[in-house]
Chains A and B, each alone.
Chain A
């Protein structure tokens, strides 16, 4: 499979992955800010059936981002591609890449950020 095909596949699957992942990340952000950050969505994650679906929903965008990064690096031959290289490789699709990256920035934000937000919102003592 050529890199161009992989890129096209990634752009097409973005529409399937991003909306549910975005909803999940927002829900997890609320949990981290206002509830136990180490036992997220306990009602779902303790159910073996539901947790499998949730894990797939959570892991698939990670694989998407890793694949997108590898495609980018392969196409521009730069391990740390800048904005210009991203736009050159992804053309108009860079917006989708940026939106996915934004979700990961939220998901991987350090814990003090969530504690602070929880206090600001007033849902954390």
Chain B
């Protein structure tokens, strides 16, 4: 079974549209072979409804179960997830959020300030622990489904809204754990769902709330504006330009406000964005993003053309919202093709697409999927989503079960308890052993080297500056924990364009080896201690 799912993930995982179209055509052929019988009987429709409900319930239960299971353990899956709590806590302890390009510390990313501030506030409120940061992501993921349900209820009956929310859960699971991880994407999905909900509600206060959410999404990532274009169409539909103006003003204030905080430099943030824009795009990723965008949009076709022409929505706003969605998805498909990016950038569109599907019939009680082709298409869509989500999450769960066998956190905390001086997580070849690094930042309030940032910066052509080497040599950090038996700072870049280039230049490694000695070992790490150079006579 595992090998079948592995085959599905590797061979079919990147081609959801082609797989779905094939399944759609095969279902049509099967139906023709079976005599073209179409299930219009009330009993068959009830059976299809029960099946859809079961699939949706399984999707929701799996989503919530996986999110809670993931949040309940301090191990991370992705290498940049620990960056969020680490940088957030360093900022909370007084370090700047965005450093100058040539600063000694290397941890600046192009995520907006809110991506870190929300974690910093949660860590302050509930205590500095990895679990708190993971809970932020899980709460955002589960919360986004709850908001999506409320949004869908505006246009559909409870049962239909519940089924559609469940299908949204399956769609989000296609992106492994990205919709509930600690990186900003989980917050973006929640923000976009909430912005759409407020925009659909009407009223000036709701328009302002939609603006606040849109501003938050824009602040999290500079591409955020592309996700909320349909929400602005909704605002225009309900209150013309007045509500659009109110929402835009609120969005602007929220997007800019975090830069008014001390240690959040807009100038440095702009510098990092500029350098990031220099990395170019991967055409193979553009193609993949477009294919995923088309796949995720398929339900719109089935919803609109699946109801009789007389029952279809006639509002201009709907077609405008679909156009805004297409514009946003196209923009994200291109912007999300930077090296290191990918299809998960399309995730925040899932609640928006669901809402447009729900509003495709003119009446909430209108029969949906009334044509044979739309029914087969919907079945193919859900079946492919469920299969690919199962394959993706099978790998995710297996990796996490393996990681859970290790207990690096106890090892790190024991080391920190028994050594008073500043310690930091270093990097060897096994990057996953560095994933508990926020634990040390929570103790010291200081963060020096973030390997995901260094990897990204190398891609942008930014070398590690001399200030970093000088800080290494001057023993700013007394102890470094390096994965046991591995060469310190020996990892290589995984991005195409810089593929397999050493992440740390020879000068860096020489500076480290000249100033540090391996002095002891813990269960999982070699401890390298800085040895200050002898004073000159």
The residues of A with any CB-CB pair to B shorter than 8 Å are 28, 36-42, 45-48, 51, 54-55, 58-59, 62-63, 66, 73, 77-80, 107-108, 110
Contact = CB atoms under 8 A, between A and B. Distances in A.
B283 A28 contact: yes
A79 B282 contact: no
B496 A38 contact: yes
B-side binding surface: helix, strand, loop or mixed? helix
B326 interface: yes
Given A39-B496, A79-B305, 15 more contacts: A36-B496, A38-B282, A39-B497, A41-B283, A45-B283, A48-B278, A55-B334, A58-B283, A59-B330, A66-B326, A73-B301, A79-B302, A79-B371, A80-B373, A108-B18
Q: Which of B24, B25, B282, B333 has most chain A Cβ within 10 Å?
A: B282
Contact of B282 (A45, A63, A77): A45
Contact of B286 (A42, A59, A79, A108): A59
27 contacts: A37-B284, A38-B284, A38-B496, A46-B280, A46-B497, A47-B280, A48-B277, A48-B278, A48-B280, A51-B280, A55-B281, A55-B286, A55-B334, A55-B337, A58-B283, A58-B287, A59-B290, A59-B330, A66-B326, A73-B305, A77-B309, A78-B373, A79-B301, A79-B374, A80-B28, A80-B373, A110-B15
Q: Which of B279, B281, B371 has most chain A Cβ within 10 Å?
A: B281
B291 interface: yes
Q: Which of A37, A62, A110 has most chain B Cβ within 10 Å?
A: A62
B256 interface: no
Contacts of B373: 78-80
Interface in B323-354: 326, 330, 333-334, 337
Nearest to A28: B283
A100 to B, nearest CB: 15
A63 B330 contact: yes
B377 interface: yes
A79 B290 contact: no
Interface of B: 15, 18, 24-25, 28, 277-284, 286-287, 290-291, 294, 301-302, 305, 309, 326, 330, 333-334, 337, 371, 373-374, 377, 496-497
Contacts of B333: 59
Contacts of A79: 301-302, 305, 371, 373-374, 377
Given A59-B334, A79-B301, A46 B279 contact: yes
A41 B283 CA distance: 8
Given A46-B497, A79-B302, A39 B282 contact: yes
Contact of A108 (B279, B291, B496): B291
Contacts of A59: 286, 290, 330, 333-334
Contacts of A73: 301, 305
Q: Which of B280, B284, B287, B496 has most chain A Cβ within 10 Å?
A: B280
Given A59-B330, A80-B373, A40 B18 contact: no
Contacts of B290: 59, 62
Q: Which of B283, B284, B373, B374 has most chain A Cβ within 10 Å?
A: B283
A51 B281 contact: yes
Contacts of B280: 45-48, 51
Contacts of B330: 59, 63
A40 B284 contact: yes
B274 to A, nearest CB: 10
B284 A63 contact: no
B285 to A, nearest CB: 8
A122 to B, nearest CB: 23
B346 to A, nearest CB: 14
A45 B15 CA distance: 23
Contacts of A39: 282, 284, 496-497
Contact of A80 (B24, B281, B286): B24
Contacts of B301: 73, 79
A58 B289 CA distance: 12
Contacts of B287: 58, 107-108
B39 to A, nearest CB: 17
A40 B282 CA distance: 7
Contacts of A107: 287
